[in-house]
Amino acid sequence: MFITRKAIPRRAMLRGLGASLALPLLDAMVPPLTALQKTPAKSLTRFGVMYVPNGMVMEQWTPAAEGAGYELTSTLAPLASYRDDMIVLSNLACVPSPGRPGGAHAKASTRFLTDISPPTSETWLDAGISMDQIAAKEMGAATQLASLELSVESGETAGACDVGFACAYTNTISWLGPSTPLPTENNPRTIFERLFGDSGSTDQRTRLARIRQDRSVLDSVRDEVAHLQGSLSAGDRNKLIEYLDAIRDVERRIQKAEEQSDKELPVVEQPAGVPPTYDEHVKLMCDLQVLAYQTDLTRIVTFMLGREFSGVTYPQIGVPDAHHPITHHQQEVEKIAKVVKINHYHVTQFAYLLEKLKSTPDGDGSLLDHTIMMYGTGMGDCNAHDPRNIPLVLAGGRSAQLKGGRHIRYAKETPLANLHLTLLDKLGVHLDRIGDSTGRLDDQVLAGI
């Protein structure tokens, strides 16, 4: 038997005049003998975090029952379609480090991935290394970008920060080192250019000049696309068409957002490329995250739906009040109801991301099967600013032996760091400890054994 077909390299790029485009994972990237055995392309493990600020109304978040028989609460209801793909975790704690008081919001966002409490100082930074960056240091060697740090709010125009604490602690959850916060990016155009091509300058005028050309990246690689399609199987051709359609759709929405931004908001306050509504903005950021995973441009993404201390309003769901102030509800029924609406609304954004991941084929399953997604916040009860029982969901990760459809209640004040150690193991990074960890979570419990 003669094997003449050559496998397409995993890092293959479509290249045109001044542009290049990464490809999704295709079966044609499998070596010929493997392909004859009907084995799909080997999948990769990714990791993602979606962070929400200012705590929760925990009574509407936490399921009453444990195990597989639990019922989704009102806040978790938007995730009903993904119940079998997710695990609700209770009693994990972000308890502050001894000797570092105050700063409930600064500690919530900082400890969420670093397990280190920041000091009371507006100039001295000390936050440890976040676990996403520990993973990125190892996994990023195989990708174009080690990680992406996304947000909805701009750190430059964020507003209030915790008294006595540097704003860096509330503006990001990702830390490259103890004194090196990683800034988040909220402009979809900038993210798209990082993934699929840059104008060669960070100057806003240069980027706008490129945008005005109104050309798709795909136009310059059209001939190569046609050549590649001729050598692919029907299944791979369909994958490529779906992927290219997704690229075109993201570009179209970015261009539309730029047009709307110019018309509706001052350019100074609303950079070109940022959609005019929260819903559109979040969905576009989620779509970019999926594309980044799909093309293996990065395997680590963090996304903040809001910064700690966020005063964003949500009139679209009937909550015109600033988010942070009403979380200090003092048991006022009307305020509690508004916070519950915000908590529920944020979960709907996570559901959108899960749907995109679940509907995107990847290897022998979907992107969701091969991505560990973590959703939550660094404080539990919003009124009490309690860090001892934080709301947390793990979704996806079937390839990493995560079995969904369950609510797991751990012993009270089990360090969140223990979960971080366990997840790092699943990402192929092994440490003895991180932050205030006391060990690992039982992997067999997470696997449902």
How would DSSP label each residue in 397-435? -GGGT---SEEEEEEEEEEHHHHHHHHHHHTT---S--T
Are residues 179 and 130 in contact, defined by beta-carbon separation less than 8 angstroms? Answer: no
Residue 290 lies in a domain: no
Query: Based on the domain organization, do 58 and 112 belong to the same domain?
Result: yes
Domain end marker among 273, 288, 320: 273
Beta carbons of 252 and 280 less than 8 angstroms apart:
no
Weakest-pLDDT range from 39-48, 177-186, 328-337, 339-348? 39-48
Listed residue (430, 365, 435, 439) closest to 397, CA to CA: 365
Query: Which of 188-197, 348-357, 415-424 has the least mean pLDDT?
Result: 188-197
Look at the block and give the residue holding tokens 């193991």: 425
Q: Which one of 17-31, 73-87, 245-259 scores highest in mean pLDDT?
A: 73-87
| Closest to 153 (Cα-Cα) out of 320, 286, 274, 315 | 274
Query: For position 418, what pLDDT does the model report?
Result: 97
Range 255-269 average pLDDT: 45
Residue 33, pLDDT > 50, answer no
Residues 313, 179 within the same domain: yes
> Is there a domain that residue 293 lies in?
no
Q: What is the pLDDT of residues 14-29, one digit of tens each?
A: 665 455 667 776 776 7
**Residue 396: inside a domain, yes or no?**
yes
Same domain for 9 and 98, yes or no, is no
Does one domain contain both 115 and 198? Answer: no
95: CATH: 3.40.720
Q: Are 255 and 373 within one domain?
A: no
Assessment of whether the complete model's pTM goes beyond 0.85: no
Residue 361 in domain: yes
Whether 129 and 123 have beta carbons less than 8 Å apart is answered as: no
Q: Verify that 112 and 233 share a domain, yes or no.
A: no
| Residue 20, both tokens | 């290049």
Tens of pLDDT, residue by residue over 368-381, are 999 999 999 999 99
Q: Which domain holds residue 336?
A: 45-186+300-446
Judge if 172 and 309 occupy the same domain: yes
Please indicate, yes or no, whether residues 306 and 412 belong to a single structural domain of this protein. Answer: yes
Is the domain of 161 the same as that of 308? Answer: yes
Residue 9 belongs to a domain:
yes
pLDDT at 215: 55
Selected residue with higher pLDDT from 395 and 189? 395
65 exposed, middle or buried (CB, 10 Å; 0-12, 13-18, 19+)?
Answer: exposed
Specify which of 23-27, 153-157, 369-373, 384-388 reaches the highest per-range mean pLDDT. 369-373
Residue 220 is predicted with a pLDDT of: 65
Asked, for residue 320, whether it belongs to a domain, the answer is yes
Helix (H) or strand (E) holding 150: strand 148-151
Same domain, residue pair 23 and 104: no
Q: Note the pLDDT of residue 257.
A: 56
Do residues 307 and 240 both lie within one domain? no
Name the more confident of 223 and 149. 149
The pLDDT value recorded for residue 200 is: 43
Residue 111 lies in a domain: yes
Token pair of 214, please? 């109104």
CA–CA dist 338, 326 (Å, integer): 8
- Convert 286-350 into a string of H (helix), E (strand) and C (coil): HHHHHHHHHCCCCCEEEEECCCCCCCCCEHHHCECCCHHHHHCCCCCHHHHHHHHHHHHHHHHHH
Give me the number of domains the chain comprises: 2
Structure-token pair, residue 72: 């989704």
Strand partners of residue 371: 46
Q: What are phi and psi of 359, to 5 degrees?
A: -90, 0
User: Cα(196)–Cα(22) distance, rounded to whole angstroms?
Assistant: 7
By percentage, how much of the chain surpasses pLDDT 90?
A: 60
Residues 352 and 397 placed together within one structural domain of the fold: yes
| Residue 315 pLDDT exceeds 70 | yes
Residue 279 in domain: no
